[in-house]
Amino acid sequence: MVKKLKVSSDKVLELERKLSGLTDLNPIQDLLTYLESDSVDGRVKHKTLFVLQRVFSSLLVSDRILGLKSTSDNEAITITKKWLLDKYTKFFIILGQLLYSNEHSLRITSLHISMSLIRTESSYISNKTKPATPQFAIESFRRLVRSLLVSEKPIIDDVRKEWIDKWPGKCDDIRYFFFKETISLLREFDIKNESRPKYLTANVLSILENIHTMPTDQSEIDEFWVPEIARQEKEQVKQSNLEQTKLDSQDWTAYYDQMVTEEDEEKATDKNAKKSKVRDTINLSAHRAMYSGVWLTLLKCPTGLDVSENRRALVVLHQLVIPFLKPSERASLADWLSDCCDIGGVNALLALNSLWRLMRDHNLDYPDFYRRLYALCDRNVLHVLYRARFFRMLDLFLSSTHLPALLVAAFIKRLSRLSISASPAAIVMLIPFTYNLLKRHPGCMHLIHSERMAQGEEADMYKVEETDPMLSNALDSSLWEMSTHQSHYHSSVNRMSQIFSQVFSKPNFAMEEFLDHAYITMFDSEIRRRIKNNPALYDGKTIGIFGGHKRKLDSLETDEEKDAVSGTQGDLVAELFEF
């Protein structure tokens, strides 16, 4: 049976008074025990957190915890420092556990206290060195990052939002070190070919996809969490800018590639006071390298990402990541995107969108792009939720007037063939889409002006099963499928398909008006359409079914007819069979 602790706020304040002189430090253990207990009230834990924050902050400033090696330290002082360091480390572990507490206030308070102590510790070790040099409390920060990312459940939304808004999304130094520690954490499992912890990838992804404040110019690196980093001498910034210019002419990914080696070379003057060099936090090239590095490390998981994680990454990849990549990294990313294309579905579409950005904006050579795009044009694409997005992108991918007519003709013919078994809503979208392609690429007009007459197997030279659009013989075929729609049962399809029999003098259709067409929109347009002339044999009588609109009694001429209609009101069967 678990023994319940009965602790009041007064008891916590009493322990704080004992600690005020920093002579009797034993109450620290009692306060840590309160935080670990599940039976202690949340308000008491909240007060305990602030008490321990004040105590450890005072101990840090007074050189009682970390303390660089000093010949004046006797054995008793050394033992005390070691004991306090253990308690300080344990406090950070507890703070990490409270990030997943059921109480909102405890979660947010734990996060703020962790970052406050990291700033205090960083300032202490920065001012303690001779000469004073900006440093960062990397060990404590590493514990916080691991607590955020490695857990038995996904990071809680309010903690993630608070973390991003207050630190990586705002402070340049915290963002830099977060990327650096995340890379180390991911590599720790990847190098050993071990499976990543269950929610590690998802937690990292949920943070990265919400960081939109990456600096694009050196002048944008101007906000820091640690004051000593912000006060770096102008000469250091100038030297950093010179190094950046040198790297820009070569490859700034050297920061990323050499990161592990640099960490191995870092030596602290005390094992309990490990620090990290912070000079790179003012260097734009280093920030870019860490950002692209954390994304590439995340994506290239040896065991692979699951489909949903792939999709989430692909949604933001073209906007958040690709602009920061160097040529060598773009080729590597293209390989990963190519693997995503093999998954099919919406993932393949999103991967092609990123590949398109690499080809258009960064001159990536990817010969298989249109072959993979052609493979996505199957009958399923007309019946999926992302149909509108697919055709928006397809219109973009085929927008260049420099594309070979044979290639464009293959897509036109493939879509025309799909229209035969498509719904009216899909056909209404495919007709203007095909019209626009023909207008944009006059070399494909042969498809509707072919005079070739043949029957049997050679009537259509188009090779349906061919996976390479350039070998499909589409240009030797015709759009007979579009001609068949002129006899379609649906009036909208019938009318629209007539444009292929007319002179191509109309401007291009605005596709946004057709991409979201569905049965419901077509039905609404039909019932709202005003009829200019009454149909033949219309007698002016309104007849409803299923209890709907009733026959207008005043339109009937004799009393017998009116009595007959009145008698059938409310009787569904009688209404149905009333002639």
For 269, residues 6+ apart whose C-beta sits below 8 A from its C-beta are: 68, 69
For 554, residues 6+ apart whose C-beta sits below 8 A from its C-beta are: none
Q: Could you tell me the maximum CA-CA distance found in the chain, to the nearest angstrom?
A: 120
Say if residue 518 is in the same domain as residue 452.
Answer: yes
Which pLDDT belongs to residue 266?
Answer: 44
Q: How far is CA 206 from CA 9, 103, 200, 264, 419, in A?
A: 37, 21, 10, 29, 40
Neighbours of 406 (CB within 10 A): 17
For 292, residues 6+ apart whose C-beta sits below 8 A from its C-beta are: 253, 256, 321, 324, 325, 326, 329
- Eight-state DSSP code of residue 69: -
- For residues 386 and 97, give the distance between their C-alpha atoms in angstroms, rounded to a whole number: 40
Say if residue 460 is in the same domain as residue 431.
Answer: yes
Structure tokens at 283: 């260097």
Cis peptide before 197 (omega within 30 of 0): no
Structure tokens at 377: 């044009």
Residue 84 within any structural domain of the chain = no
- For residues 214 and 207, give the distance between their C-alpha atoms in angstroms, rounded to a whole number: 13
Say if residue 519 is in the same domain as residue 539.
Answer: no
DSSP 496-516: HGGGGGS-S-SPPP-GGGTTT
Which residues constitute the domain of residue 458? Answer: 398-527
Residue 415 within any structural domain of the chain = yes
Candidates 406, 387, 383; CA nearest to 395 is: 387
Say if residue 495 is in the same domain as residue 564.
Answer: no
Structure tokens at 538: 């219309």
Say if residue 438 is in the same domain as residue 516.
Answer: yes
Alpha-carbon torsion (506, 508, 513, 519), positive or negative: positive
- For residues 376 and 344, give the distance between their C-alpha atoms in angstroms, rounded to a whole number: 7
Boundary (domain end) residue, out of 527, 555, 570: 527
Which pLDDT belongs to residue 185?
Answer: 95
Q: Are 497 and 485 in contact (CB under 8 A)?
A: yes
- What's the gap between Cα 156 and its chain centre? 17
Boundary (domain end) residue, out of 488, 506, 527: 527
Kindly compute the dihedral angle of the four CA atoms of residues 474, 476, 482, 483, in this order, to the nearest 10 degrees: -170
Say if residue 429 is in the same domain as residue 522.
Answer: yes
Which pLDDT belongs to residue 256?
Answer: 47
Residue 71 within any structural domain of the chain = no
Ranges of residues in the chain with a pLDDT under 50 are 1-2, 249-256, 258, 260-276, 545-553, 568, 570, 572-579
Say if residue 467 is in the same domain as residue 517.
Answer: yes
Residue 522 within any structural domain of the chain = yes
Say if residue 449 is in the same domain as residue 508.
Answer: yes
Structure tokens at 564: 């007959």
Which pLDDT belongs to residue 109?
Answer: 97
Residue in this structure with the two tokens 């498509």, named with its chain if needed:
422
For 521, residues 6+ apart whose C-beta sits below 8 A from its C-beta are: 425
Candidates 213, 209, 140; CA nearest to 172 is: 213
Say if residue 402 is in the same domain as residue 523.
Answer: yes
The single-letter code of the amino acid at 35 is: L
Q: How far apart are the first and last CA of the chain?
A: 82
Coil/strand/helix, residue 135: strand
Tens-place pLDDT, residues 246-300: 555 444 444 445 454 444 434 443 433 344 467 789 899 999 999 999 999 999 8
Candidates 179, 250, 180, 248; CA nearest to 211 is: 179
Query: How many structural domains does the chain have?
Result: 2
Which pLDDT belongs to residue 102?
Answer: 93
- For residues 548 and 528, give the distance between their C-alpha atoms in angstroms, rounded to a whole number: 17
Residue 304 within any structural domain of the chain = no
Q: Any long-range contacts for 20-28 (C-beta under 8 Å, 24+ apart)? A: 22/55, 22/58, 22/59, 22/62, 22/64, 25/80, 25/83, 25/84, 28/52, 28/55, 28/84, 28/87
Phi-psi region of 363 (alpha: psi -120 to 50; beta: other; left: phi over 0): left
Q: Are 186 and 196 in contact (CB under 8 A)?
A: yes
In sequence order, what E strands does 319-425 have?
Answer: none
The single-letter code of the amino acid at 546 is: F
The single-letter code of the amino acid at 91 is: F
Which pLDDT belongs to residue 458?
Answer: 62
Say if residue 416 is in the same domain as residue 514.
Answer: yes
Residue 543 within any structural domain of the chain = yes
- For residues 172 and 281, give the distance between their C-alpha atoms in angstroms, rounded to a whole number: 7
Structure tokens at 558: 């004799």
- Eight-state DSSP code of residue 546: T
Boundary (domain end) residue, out of 527, 544, 567: 527
Say if residue 523 is in the same domain as residue 538.
Answer: no
- For residues 174 and 172, give the distance between their C-alpha atoms in angstroms, rounded to a whole number: 6
Which pLDDT belongs to residue 5?
Answer: 65
- For residues 205 and 295, give the distance between their C-alpha atoms in angstroms, rounded to a whole number: 9
Say if residue 407 is in the same domain as residue 485.
Answer: yes
